[in-house]
Structure 1
Amino acid sequence: MTDASRAPVPHPDHDPGLRASDADREAVAEVLREAAGDGRIDLSELHERLERTFEAKTYGELAPLTADLPGHRAPTAPPPPPSVDQPMVLKTGAGDITQTGHWEVPRRISAHSRMGSVKIDFSQAVCRVPEVALEVKAGMGDVTIVVPHGWSVRTHGVRAHVGSVRNKAVEPPAPGAPTLEVTGSLALGEVLVRYPNRWEQWLRRRDGGA
């Protein structure tokens, strides 16, 4: 008999009206079969619950079928991806913050570094918006921005008092590629925009990236 602990672990607080899949129904059925094998429900109740399981259309119809069984709950819908309209805020005092890997790029990002460093790596991110607004504020800290080849980057909106702004991502933009608009201010810090370096490219290839 299949180990019932392999049934999907639910995410709480999701809409019970969402449609369930065949895999969801089969996961609940396996939990019920395991419960019958343990003597928690009898065979007639197992038969009745299995009928209800395979007739269920939504998560809300599946949930009651395992609610009284210890350690099991009906599967629920996975959480939705974060909205592109929800700003991302990266803020540090003297520490380091790195945003990298596979992530969803919002329309607006704020990167604040008083004495530490912030690194934002867009090279493997999913960007569904044509323009991204990035506001930087750096006291004595640094902000490093890594963009894929083909992106258009504008940094003329950054005010540097004693610090520096260096944009090394100056290749001609690819048609349809996103535009990154960088604004903000820095005192003694540095803002650096660049493409992925050889070490970052090697790590991506090692991890199976393109």
Structure 2
Amino acid sequence: MTDELPELRASDTDRERVAERLREAVAEGRLDMEEFQERLDATYKARTYGELEPVTRDLPDPAGPGPAPARASGSGAWAERIGGAGTSAGGVAIMSGFSRKGMWTVPRRFNCFALCGGGEVDLREAKFEAPEVVVNCVAIMGGVDVIVPPGVEVVVRGIGVMGGFDERLGDEPPEPGAPRVIVTGFAFWGGVCVKRKISRSEKRRLKEEKDRRKGLEK
């Protein structure tokens, strides 16, 4: 990254390098989880070096060379999360709400409907019936949030009429062996928001690493 060429386009490798530094900063106690998530979102949305540079401007360089921390996910981990029968076929919210989150199995097609209400489809800790699943969302004067974990490939094909489908995914490349999630459907005077966040288990891992480092410093 360079101050002389702030408009130079950043690569996926550049973004991932910054994301890794943010993960280290959380483990070191320099960032809390809210700051980490905000900066991670900004990292994956950044197009140029000039947009990436402020993300870690107030963080020191890593202490020294060494292997990068192991990531929680990967081809082996994904293989363990694909297969088995779906545990929920859909969700309905009519002037109310629904939520599918935690440990559940996403079927090949999950249908959800929100009318003057809201729904949440959280895939961060879910398993997947097949390597490709479809989340079909219909939102009429209501909204649906679809939350996916890092590494998953996401395709958004929804149609909005006086409403829309909002993508907050960044440019993170899919991981080998990760499932493909297709978000489709229809939004009328409503909205479907598709966003990427780290899982609760990853948050716990970062917190445990942070506590471990604090213990070593005492």
TM-score, normalised by the number of residues in structure 1? 0.53
Identical-pair percentage: 29
Taking a change above 3 Å as real, the CA distance of residues 209 and 151 of structure 1, as seen in their structure-2 partners, is farther
Q: Which has the higher helix share?
A: 2
1:39-188 equivalence runs, <5 A: 83-84=85-86, 88-156=89-157, 158-170=158-170, 171-188=172-189
Decide whether the 8 Å contact of 1:87 with 1:108 is kept in 2. no
Count of residue pairs the alignment pairs up: 125
The equivalent residue for 1:205 is: 204
Decide whether the 8 Å contact of 2:84 with 2:129 is kept in 1. no
Post-superposition shift, 1:83?
Answer: 2.3
SS across alignment from 2:105? coil
Name structure 1 gaps, 5 residues minimum.
1-80
1:10-29 equivalence runs, <5 A: none
Give deviations 1:68-94, integer Å, cap 9, x for gaps.
xxxxxxxxxxxxx9723x761201101
Post-superposition shift, 1:96?
Answer: 1.2
TM-score, normalised by the number of residues in structure 2? 0.51
Tell me the distance in 2 between the aligned counterparts of 1:124 and 1:99.
11
Higher relative contact order (CA 8 A, sep 6+): 2
Structure 1 residue runs of 4 or more that deviate by more than 2 Å after TM superposition: 81-84, 200-206
The equivalent residue for 2:192 is: 191
Give deviations 1:27-48, integer Å, cap 9, x for gaps.
xxxxxxxxxxxxxxxxxxxxxx
Decide whether the 8 Å contact of 1:87 with 1:107 is kept in 2. no
Decide whether the 8 Å contact of 1:138 with 1:187 is kept in 2. yes
Tell me the distance in 2 between the aligned counterparts of 1:203 and 1:101.
13
Which is further off, 122-131 or 144-153? 122-131
Bigger radius of gyration among the two: 1
Tell me the distance in 2 between the aligned counterparts of 1:178 and 1:146.
14
Decide whether the 8 Å contact of 2:101 with 2:122 is kept in 1. yes
